[in-house]
Chain A
Amino acid sequence: MLGIFLRRILLAIPVLIAVASITFFLVRLAPGGPFDADKAVSEQVLKNLNEAYNLNAPLSEQYFDYMSGILVGDFGPSFRFPGRSVTELIMTGLPVTFELAIYSMLIALFIGILSGVTAALKRNTFLDYIPMSIAMIGICVPTFLLGPLLVLIFGINLELLPVSGWGQLPGDKILPSLTLGFAYAAYIARLSRGGMLEILNQDFIRTARAKGLSEKMVVIKHAMQGGLIPVVSFLGPAVAGLLAGSFVVETIFQIPGLGRFYVEAAFNRDYTMILGTTIFFSFMIVFFNLLSDIVALWLNPRSRDT
Chain B
Amino acid sequence: MSQSSSLWSDAIRRLFKNKAAVAGAVVLIVLIVLAAFAPWIAPYPYAYQNLDLGASPPSSAHLLGTDVLGRDLLSRILYGARISLLVGFIATTVALVIGVSWGIIAGYAGGKVDSVMMRIVDILYGLPFIIFIILLMVIFGRNLWLLFLAIGAVEWLTMARIVRAQVLSLKNQEFVLAAQAMGVSNFAMFKRHLLPNILGPVAVYATLTIPQVMLLESFLSFLGLGIQPPMSSWGTLIKDGVESMEEYSWLLIYPGLTFTITLFALNFFGDGLRDALDPKTSE
Q: Which residues of A contact B (CB under 8 A)?
A: 11-12, 15, 18-19, 23, 26-27, 29-31, 136, 139-142, 144-145, 148-149, 151-152, 156, 240, 243-244, 247-248, 251-252, 262-263, 266-267, 269, 274, 278, 281-282, 285-286, 289
Contact = CB atoms under 8 A, between A and B. Distances in A.
A267 B224 contact: yes
B135 interface: yes
Nearest to B255: A145
A66 to B, nearest CB: 16
A140 B267 contact: yes
Contacts of A244: 130-131, 219
B36 interface: no
B222 A248 contact: yes
Chain B at the A interface: mostly helix, strand, loop or mixed?
Answer: helix
A278 B238 contact: no
Contacts of A252: 242
Contact of A156 (B132, B136, B219, B246): B246
A266 B135 CA distance: 7
Question: Which secondary structure characterizes the binding site on chain A?
Answer: helix
Interface stretch (B81-89, B106-114, B120-128, B192-200): B120-128
Contacts of A29: 139
A240 B136 CA distance: 18
Residue among A15, A244, A281, A285 with the highest chain B CB neighbour number at 10 A: A244
Interface in B86-109: none
Interface in B213-228: 215, 218-219, 222-225
A183 to B, nearest CB: 10
Contacts of B222: 144, 248
A282 B252 contact: no
B238 A285 contact: no
Given A152-B249, A248-B219, A274-B138, A286 B259 contact: no
B28 interface: no
6 contacts: A144-B218, A144-B219, A145-B259, A244-B130, A248-B222, A285-B126
A148 B245 contact: yes
A220 to B, nearest CB: 25
A260 B282 CA distance: 41
B139 A30 contact: yes
Contacts of B128: 240, 243, 278, 281-282, 285
B28 to A, nearest CB: 14
A289 B126 contact: yes
Q: Residue among A26, A30, A142, A244 with the most chain B CB within 10 A?
A: A142
A279 to B, nearest CB: 10
B77 interface: no
Given A136-B267, A142-B218, A251-B223, A285 B139 contact: no
A98 to B, nearest CB: 16
B55 to A, nearest CB: 16
Contacts of B126: 12, 15, 285-286, 289
A248 B241 CA distance: 15
B127 A282 contact: yes
A253 to B, nearest CB: 11
A169 B264 CA distance: 36
Contacts of B223: 247-248, 251, 263, 266
Contact of A266 (B225, B238, B256): B225
Given A144-B218, A144-B222, A282-B131, A15 B264 contact: no
A270 B9 CA distance: 56
B134 A148 contact: no
Contacts of B218: 142, 144
B150 interface: no
B252 A152 contact: yes
Contacts of B264: 136, 140
A145 B234 CA distance: 11
A51 to B, nearest CB: 24
A278 B130 CA distance: 10
Contacts of B135: 23, 26-27, 266, 274, 278
Contacts of B138: 30, 266, 269, 274
A148 B252 contact: yes
